Structure 1
Amino acid sequence: MRVDDLNRRTALQALLAGGSAAFLAGCGASAPPPAASPSGSGSSSASTQGISITDQRGKTLTFAKPVTRVVTIPMPAASLLVAVDGGAEHLSGMHNASWVAMRDGILGTMFPRALDLPHEIATQDFTPNVESVRALNPDVVVQWSDAQLIEPLENAGLTVLGLTNTGKQEDVDAWVAMFAAMLGKPGRATEIKARSDQELAEVKALAAGRGSPAPSILYFNRFTGGLKAAAANTYNDFYIKLVGGTNPATGEDPLPGTGMVGLDVEQVLRWDPEVILLGNFDAAMPQDIYSDPVWQNISAVRSRRVYKVPLGGYRWDPPGQESPLMWHWLSDVAFPQARSGVRNKATDYFRFLYNHVPTADELDKILWTAANNESADYRQFNAG
């Protein structure tokens, strides 16, 4: 799937540095950001000078006022827009894979309007259906920066905001900054980045303080219908190493190329990973591996350390607004605790991102507690 498959090297133009002034320098917004509202959503008032944003391909877009109709094609973009905006009122259409994540996760429960939105606007490889997009009359279309994906939209007279994904946290920061700016809520970007930076520092400190050896962790973006694993320049490789693990796909016997790379079972047997992560881009579950004789000689299977990655407001495996929760979850998977703090962190983070307090059942659904029940040490994530 192109969320991590695309190998984009465009220089970032919209990085947040932590303060409001740095945010404006990165996004090209033309007026100072207003103070954040008590609800944490920032101000929705537009600058009298309009809004100017430089996207990740280096193109400057201008808006006379905050946008109110946004179509998103990159898969993380729809839920990210909802989190930044505090609702789905300004989302007009999205990629089908974004819609599926909303349906299968809990974002559709939190914002049911989103499930009624058009979502057949692009192919699986993000090629846009230009007429379908035009029919939605968007103020802006969010698209990956590849020229062949953007040009058909611009040739049709549409305004396009280009995103890149280089497998780094800075990309997420840039996306948040641009979305907040075009929505007229720059203060919201400062809030989100501050929270993310705080969690990043905490996870780094935990990793630095460990004396135990790093487990080898292999992430499968695809399992059924052909294996694909996270190789170089992927966000998955970033967070595996962030929590103190090692990624065999980028180790001494690495996969060739970048992004999500196809491989066979023989390669996995040679690596013999200690932990296997199953992503949310297909229906594979730990039991599928545990019950397959082909996988029985792999360490992760013998020790029952195969895990389905959580699915919250969006999938936790690719980059997004809930990535700090992924960092903490993976840290506890790799280095088990008597009792994980992820449920409490998720409750607090969902309140911050969506003004929603998840129920115990919703947290079980997010964390796949039933599907992961037979995996080692997963009871640490159960309700107390």
Structure 2
Amino acid sequence: MNKKKLLISSIFFILIISLLTTGCVKESDSKEESTITIEDMANRKVKVPTNISKVYATNPSGTIFVYTLDPDSLIGLNYEFTDYEKQFVDEKYRKLPVLGGWFGKNSTGNVEEILKYSPDLIVNVGKIDETSISASEKIEEILQAPVIMLGDNIEEISEAYEILGKVLGKEKRAQELAKYSNDILKEAEENSSKIKEEDMKKVYYAEGPKGLETEGNGSRRMKVLELVKGENASKSVETKDKHGKTNVSLEELLMWNPEYILVGSDPDKGLNVKENILKDPLWQDIEAVKNKNIYEIPHGPFNWFDRPPAVNRLMGIKWLGNLIYPEVFDYDIKEETTKFYKQFYNMDLNEEQIEMLLSN
């Protein structure tokens, strides 16, 4: 009888252990299935959740990638849109909280606020090197969420979309944007190959409140000009750091004598560099000023040429190419603008908005 009881007890014990073990395995399997491993553009293997609904980007370039791919997943912005910029942003996203970011000089994200939103994923877009990899790892630790790194070179846009699309479960949308990006770059390459060296237009990029800050050759901020085969008037300038905006003198500018001047103005800040240049008697001997070939870079909600260096530059390629080589980059810019804003921002521009963008 005792042997029988012992046998029953042993069987019962084994059954309990078996059930407990099975439960542990299932829980472990479930945990494994809740994440996938992604290789980002820094060749880092990153474990990310399979279902992501809350994304924070460390800088405006990253925010633009997420905004154009899956805007509903964005938990916040890096800076507040100006009143002018808000006209080109869906009302749904205008009031997203401003969480700051790791970009520009001496800027950091608002860690306390970001943590309140418990992001599932952090997107860090920029130049990929040891410094940025180290920074991403620190951000990952601070924000307690996985960080994927994406490059910000214009040629890397399609790859960045493909990786981000896989992470966010938006592969189809990502492929559409990647193809559009590649098509623009391929078209730019074909068009620029038709321009002879001796026919290249000399262009000066006027930055800063007085227009006397600029970028030298090799700066990523001049990529749009490079892709349409324009000559950088300030090519001899040495770009001192990644933030650019190297000071130059008016004497240097007179010596370079550009045929075109591009400026970035901000009406909300009362800054109109173009108007100031046209009024200033010291600029009047420059060919671009004489011929009134000074143009404000379209901006809304993001600059088409630079700052931030993101997908917004794709439209800048068509705009600038058509501006300085209209016979080669032969586009109906209004039509191209309408297409681009629909494709990337899911926005149907009205005639007034198109005029605002192109009234340069």
Q: Bin the TM-score by the shorter chain.
A: 0.7 to 0.9
In 1, the alpha carbon distance for the partners of 2:312 and 2:141 equals 34
Contact 1:66 1:183 in 2 (8 A): yes
Query: What's the TM-score once normalised by structure 2's chain length?
Result: 0.76
Instruction: Tell me which of the two structures has the higher relative contact order, counting C-alpha pairs closer than 8 angstroms and 6 or more residues apart.
Output: 1
Matched, 1:213 2:199: yes
Q: How does 1:323-342 map to 2 (within 5 A)?
A: 323-336=313-326, 340-342=331-333
Q: Which whole-Å CA distance do the structure 1 matches of 2:222 and 2:332 have between them?
A: 23
Return the structure number with greater helix share.
2
Aligned to 1:153: 139
Aligned with residue 162 of structure 1, among 129, 132, 149: 149
Distance 2:282 2:274 in 1: 14
Partners of 2:72 and 2:239 in 1: how far apart?
Answer: 43
- Deviation per CA, 1:184-211: give whole Å up to 9, x if none: 1122222212112222222222222346
* Aligned twin of 1:33: none
Equivalent pairs counted in the alignment come to 312
Cα distance, 1:71 vs structure 2: 1.1
Q: Following the alignment from structure 1 to structure 2, what is the Cα–Cα distance between the partners of residues 234 and 284?
A: 24
Structure 1 or 2, whichever has the larger Rg, is 2
Contact 2:260 2:294 survives alignment (8 Å): yes
**Which of the residues 200, 203, 222 maps onto 1:237?**
222
Aligned residue in 1 for 2:341:
350
Deviation at residue 226 of structure 1 after TM alignment? 7.3
TM superposition score normalised by structure 1: 0.72
CA positional deviation for 1:258: 5.5
Q: Residues 215 and 350 of structure 1: is their aligned pair in 2 closer, same or farther, counting only changes over 3 Å?
A: same
Q: What is the CA deviation profile of residues 20-78 of structure 1, one whole-angstrom value per residue up to 9, with x for unaligned ones?
A: xxxxxxxxxxxxxxxxxxxxxxxxxxxx6854322333322222323211112221222
- Offset of residue 270 of structure 1: 2.4
Q: How does 1:44-55 map to 2 (within 5 A)?
A: 50-55=35-40
Unaligned 5+ runs, structure 2: 1-32
Please, which of 110, 114, 130 is the counterpart of residue 93 of structure 2? 114
Change (3 A) 1:234 1:190: farther
Which of 264, 271, 275 is the aligned partner of 2:256?
271
Aligned residue for 2:294?
306
Q: CA deviation at 1:363?
A: 0.7
Aligned to 2:11: none
Deviation at 1:151, TM superposition (A): 4.6
> Which residue identity does 1:91 align to in structure 2?
L
Change (3 A) 1:63 1:366: same
Deviations 1:195-240 (A, max 9, x none): 12222222222222346711111223x3216743122443342221
Of residues 321-330 and 279-288 in structure 1, the stretch that sits farther from structure 2 once superposed is: 279-288
Structure 2 counterpart of 1:381: none
> What CA distance in whole angstroms lies between the structure 1 residues aligned with 2:39 and 2:318?
32
Aligned to 2:12: none
Partner residue, 1:189: 174
Q: CA deviation at 1:340?
A: 4.8
**Per the alignment, in what secondary structure is the counterpart of residue 199 of structure 2?**
coil
Unaligned stretches of 5+ residues in structure 1: 1-47, 373-384
Pick aligned residue for 1:287 from 270, 275, 280: 275
Distance 1:164 1:321, change over 3 A: closer
Which residue is 1:363 aligned to?
354
CA distance in 2, matches of 1:225, 1:60: 45
Q: Cα distance 1:161–1:142, how it changes in 2: closer, same or farther (>3 A)?
A: same
